[in-house]
Structure 1
Amino acid sequence: MTILVAYVARPEGRAALDKAIEIATRRNEPLVVVNAGPGGHQDDPALISGYEAERVEERLASLSIKAEFKQFVRGKSAIDEIDNLVKELDVTVLVIGLRKRTAVGKLLLGSMAQEILMSVDCPVLCVKAT
């Protein structure tokens, strides 16, 4: 059983990481932080830099629970990578971050969040940044 968090270097990603750490620590479950994107010749804003990855890894190393960071850039979409990890790791909950939206934007959840909710076979906790 594992807590999985989809991480991006934005306020909503940091809020998701904070909540995932809280849940994993309280339940004493392993935590896996994933950052993924297809890579290639186009820069993907969801992929984090080496410096940001080091910061996440340092934070995870300071925890009292088993925690690891994974970054995938191997041609698959982030959603495919997350879905594969959900199946592989027996994930008890997936934590994702959501951006605040305008009234019109609230009609649509957001393509990534919506696709994750529709594709993964585990509970998903959506967290907003404060």
Structure 2
Amino acid sequence: MKIVVGYLPTPAGRAALRTAVEEATLRSAELVVVQAHHTRRWARHTNAQETEAALSEDRAALDASGVGYELVPVADDADPADVILGACERTHTQLLVIGTRRRTPVGKLIMAPTTQRLLLEAACPVLCVKASYGTD
């Protein structure tokens, strides 16, 4: 069994990774971590030092979890939704885990394009995790 997780070293991405590790442990599944790196799309939400610290901490937690995993990088010019959906199809994924962040009332009317595509096009159940999940 495989679980795919869309990961960025942001609060939402980190919550998704934590949840995916928990689900993989419960289900005796392996993880496929689709990992984007610092791009202009989300650079405004992080700074380089925080990003590197989060990456290091998350890699250590993933290694310590004992869950088997595969890292799938997202190229700068690639659409993250395409890469995530491709990973789901290739591995016959049982669950896709993605992170979401808080939005203003107006922002709730407009869903992020990547999130919308994943929710509408994934052929497996999708678990959306709030950025603040597990940090309170």
Q: TM-score range by the shorter chain?
A: 0.7 to 0.9
User: What residue number does 1:121 align with?
Assistant: 123
Q: Are the structure 2 counterparts of residues 33 and 91 from structure 1 closer, same or farther at C-alpha, using a change threshold of 3 Å?
A: same
TM-score (norm 2): 0.79
Contact 2:3/2:32 (<8 A) preserved: yes
Task: Measure the CA separation in 1 of the matches of 2:8 and 2:114.
Answer: 12
Q: In the alignment, is residue 36 of structure 1 matched against residue 33 of structure 2? A: no
Query: What SS does the aligned partner of 1:31 have?
Result: strand
Superposed CA RMSD? 2.3
Figure out how many residues of one structure are paired with residues of the other and give that number.
Answer: 126
Alignment of 1:93-112 (within 5 A): 93-112=95-114
TM-score (norm 1): 0.82
Contact 2:32 2:87 in 1 (8 A): no
Task: Check the 8 A contact 1:60/1:68 in 2, yes or no.
Answer: no
What SS does structure 2 have at the residue aligned with 1:91?
coil
Match of 2:86 in 1: 84
Q: CA 1:59–1:19 in 2, change beyond 3 Å: closer, same or farther?
A: same
Q: Check the 8 A contact 1:2/1:89 in 2, yes or no.
A: yes
The alpha carbon displacement at 1:64 in A equals 2.2
